[in-house]
Amino acid sequence: MSNYYWLTPEEKQRKKKRNKIVLYASLLLVTVIISAFVTVLASQI
């Protein structure tokens, strides 16, 4: 089964914009989790 769907240029733009927002949100979340983990490790030393 093909994974390809035909999108209009507007839909492509919207999807690209949404993907960028999701990427930045996940990067922010990962950064927060890593900093929390480092803080916990540092407090145990």
At residue 5 the predicted structure's pLDDT band, cuts being 50, 70 and 90, is: low
| CB 15, CB 7: distance < 8 Å | yes
Residue 1 has pLDDT above 60, yes or no: no
| 3-state DSSP assignment of residue 2 | coil
Residue 37 has pLDDT above 60, yes or no: yes
pLDDT tens digits along 25-36:
999 999 999 999
Q: Is residue 1 situated within a structural domain?
A: no
Angular region, 18: left φ>0, alpha ψ -120 to 50, beta rest = alpha
Q: What was the pLDDT predicted at 3? A: 54
Looking at the structure of the chain, the number of domains it has is: 1
Looking at every residue in the chain, the average pLDDT score rounds to: 89
Q: Is residue 42 situated within a structural domain?
A: yes
pLDDT (average), residues 3-12? 77
The parent domain of residue 26 ranges over 9-45
